[in-house]
Amino acid sequence: MNLFEYTRATSLGEAVAAAQKPGAAYLAGGTNLLDLMKGGIAAPAHLVDITRLPGLSAIERLPDGGTRIGALVRNSDLANDPDFAETYPMVAEALLSGASAQLRNAATAGGNLLQRTRCEYFYDPASPCNKRAPGAGCAAIGAATRIHAVQGWSEHCIATNPSDFCVPLAALSAIVEIAGPQGSRTVPLTAFHCLPGAQPERETALGAGELITALVLPPEAAAFARNARYLKVRDRTSYAFAVVSAAAALTLDAGRIVEGRLALGGIALKPWRVAEAEAALAGRRPTPETYAAAARLALAGAEPTGAANAFKVELARRVAARALALAAAGTPARMPALPASPFGLA
């Protein structure tokens, strides 16, 4: 691990000021950043510890009916908060299906949004990677691509976003609150992560010295509590990232879908939400044919990045359709023993 300067900030202003130094990075739970540092993938010259910042560790119900999640709220605390889990069950299910219990006890809500891709070539300093060294090339293209993208990729990068948490957040139109040198601003989560394009090194909408202070779920997100599920297909049930995942939520009335939400994970460098797929659900009866049609629209334009991941297109369609069917069946009264797993669904 490289030598670095360390600052423990005691106020938001102090943290932002310290982060103006060249090579600075914010440190919260550290469950991803410290691994990257130990592996030689990241080498920040200055770590700004924000774990003591006041006001960023609360889960707050807002007057308008929304919910504000402080950036330093631990994943386990959020998932196990009874009121939060009852109101946003697919978010809790996604959190409990990610990582291990020990990591969830350390990882933070804000840090979850900033996870780096789990592409094996990104994690290998000996492999060229445009994320680590712009212009170096992408070793994944033409190589082993089983876990790589089928949507939104470019000739410069075919990586995927590893977050479970972000998928239902995208489906529920969450907002990211940001603080930085120029003050505070907000960004929709659906616009927070960047597709690779020609600049795969730029992964989020954060500018220099900016940090996430909170996530806000709007009032309308609570309307989906009775019919919402998160489904995750992975290589093993415990402690594995999604090959494909889906967050599905519906409101139903008189035997028809009033509104549907659908977002996919594991297929792109950001949670994948398609407005046309959701629009195709409105006014339809909750049937397998309806779910399949929406799933096809969600995967419109999908293209494998190699023969090894061609299966992901059909798998994603099936996962999307099944997640919608599970949502229509109703949110379970109790969390499944194996959250989000196809083998533990109630």
> What is the rounded average pLDDT for all residues in the chain?
97
Specify burial of residue 225 (Cβ count, 10 A radius: 0-12, 13-18, 19+): middle
Q: How far apart are CA 148 and CA 277, in angstroms?
A: 22
Single-letter code of the amino acid located at 136: A
Q: What global pTM score does this model have? A: 0.98
Query: What does the pLDDT average to over 280-290?
Result: 98
- According to DSSP, residue 254 is labeled T
- Per residue in 245-270, pLDDT (tens digit) is 999 999 999 999 999 999 999 999 99
Q: What is the pLDDT of residue 345?
A: 60
Q: How far apart are CA 314 and CA 121, in angstroms?
A: 25
Residue 238 — very low, low, confident or very high, per pLDDT cuts 50/70/90?
A: confident
Q: What is the pLDDT of residue 285?
A: 98
Domains of the chain, first to last: 5-49 (3.30.43.10), 225-329 (3.30.390.50)
- State the pairing for strand pair 228-234/242-253: antiparallel
Q: What is the pLDDT of residue 64?
A: 98
Single-letter code of the amino acid located at 96: L
Nearest to 50 by CA among 72, 17, 34, 70: 72
Q: What is the pLDDT of residue 237?
A: 85
Alpha helix segments (H runs only) across the chain: 12-18, 33-38, 75-79, 82-87, 89-96, 101-106, 109-113, 166-171, 189-192, 275-279, 288-298, 311-329
- List, in sequence order, every residue forming a beta bridge with 253; answer none if it has no partner: 256
Query: What does the pLDDT average to over 206-217?
Result: 98
- State the pairing for strand pair 67-70/59-61: antiparallel
DSSP string spanning 164-229? Answer: STHHHHHHTT-EEEEEETTEEEEEEHHHHBPP-TT-TT--BS--TT-EEEEEEE-GGGGGGTTSEE
The tokens 């594995």 sit on which residue?
A: 240
Specify burial of residue 183 (Cβ count, 10 A radius: 0-12, 13-18, 19+): exposed
- Per residue in 26-56, pLDDT (tens digit) is 999 999 999 999 999 999 999 999 999 999 9
Percent of the chain topping pLDDT 90: 96
pLDDT higher than 90, residue 5: yes
Backbone CA torsion sign across 74, 69, 267, 114: negative
Q: What is the pLDDT of residue 2?
A: 84
- Give the three-state DSSP class for 102: helix
- Per residue in 68-126, pLDDT (tens digit) is 999 999 999 999 999 999 999 999 999 999 999 999 999 999 999 999 999 999 999 99
